[in-house]
Amino acid sequence: MTRRAVITGVGEVPCGKFPDRAPLDIAITVAEQAIADSGMDRKDIDTILAAPCFADPWFNTDLGFARMVDELSMRETVKLNAQVNAGGSSGTALLKTAKSMVESGQSEAVLCLHAEKFTTMSGQQGFDFFAKAGIDRDFEAPVGMVYNAMPAFVAQRYMHETGATAEDLAEVTVSCREWATLHPNAMFRTPLTVEEVMASKMVASPMRALMLNMLGDGGSAFVVTTAERAKGVRDTPVHIWSEAGIVNTYSFAQHRDVTRMNWAKVADKAYKEARISASDVDIVEIYMAYPIFHLVLMEEMGFCERGKAAELFRSGATRPGGSIPVSTFGDAMSYGHIGAGIGLAAIVESVRQLRGEAGERQVPNASVVLKTSAGGAYADAQITILGKEAR
The answer to whether position 80 is within a domain reads: yes
* Span 341-359, average pLDDT: 98
Residue 99 has pLDDT above 90, yes or no: yes
Euclidean distance between the first and the last CA atom of the chain, given in angstroms as a whole number: 15
- For residue 173, give every residue at least 6 positions away whose Cβ sits within 8 Å of its Cβ, in sequence order, or none: 192, 197, 210, 211, 291, 333, 334
Strand 380-387 versus strand 368-373 pairing type: antiparallel
8 Å CB contact between 378 and 253: no
The answer to whether position 27 is within a domain reads: yes
Q: Work out how many domains the chain is built from and give that number.
A: 1
Give the helix/strand (H/E) hosting 117.
Answer: strand 109-117
CA 278 to chain centre: 19
The answer to whether position 195 is within a domain reads: no
Output the pLDDT for position 137: 87
8 Å CB contact between 22 and 252: no
Output the pLDDT for position 122: 83
The residue segments making up the domain with residue 49 are 5-121+215-230
The answer to whether position 224 is within a domain reads: yes
Q: Report the alpha-carbon distance of residue 186 to residue 188 in Å, rounded.
A: 6
What strand order describes the sheet that includes 283-285? 80-83, 47-50, 109-117, 217-226, 5-16, 238-247, 380-387, 368-373, 283-285
Q: What is the pLDDT of residues 29-82, one digit of tens each?
A: 999 999 999 999 999 999 999 999 999 999 999 999 999 999 999 999 999 999
* Residue 232: band (very low, low, confident or very high) from pLDDT cuts 50, 70, 90: confident
Amino acid at the residue 128: D
Entry pTM: 0.97
* Span 185-206, average pLDDT: 98
Q: What are phi and psi of 286, to 5 degrees?
A: -95, 120
Q: Report the alpha-carbon distance of residue 10 to residue 334 in Å, rounded.
A: 21
The answer to whether position 290 is within a domain reads: no
Torsion of CA 223, 229, 232, 235, to 10 degrees: 50
Residue 127 has pLDDT above 90, yes or no: no
Q: Report the alpha-carbon distance of residue 351 to residue 366 in Å, rounded.
A: 10
The answer to whether position 199 is within a domain reads: no
8 Å CB contact between 296 and 176: no
Backbone torsion region of residue 390, taken as left when φ is above 0, otherwise alpha when ψ lies between -120 and 50, otherwise beta: beta
* Span 152-181, average pLDDT: 98
The answer to whether position 37 is within a domain reads: yes
The answer to whether position 304 is within a domain reads: no
Q: Report the alpha-carbon distance of residue 92 to residue 372 in Å, rounded.
A: 8
Strand 217-226 versus strand 109-117 pairing type: antiparallel
67: CATH: 3.40.47.10
Output the pLDDT for position 1: 67
Q: Report the alpha-carbon distance of residue 109 to residue 132 in Å, rounded.
A: 36
* Residue 149: band (very low, low, confident or very high) from pLDDT cuts 50, 70, 90: very high
Q: Report the alpha-carbon distance of residue 170 to residue 301 in Å, rounded.
A: 21
Output the pLDDT for position 144: 85
User: DSSP labels for 2-14?
Assistant: ---EEEEEEEEEE
Output the pLDDT for position 235: 81
- The SS3 call for residue 207 is strand
Q: What is the pLDDT of residues 245-289, one digit of tens each?
A: 999 999 998 999 999 999 999 999 999 999 999 999 999 999 999
Q: What are phi and psi of 362, to 5 degrees?
A: -55, 125
Side-chain half-sphere of 290: how many Cα atoms within 13 Å? 24
Q: Report the alpha-carbon distance of residue 253 to residue 272 in Å, rounded.
A: 30
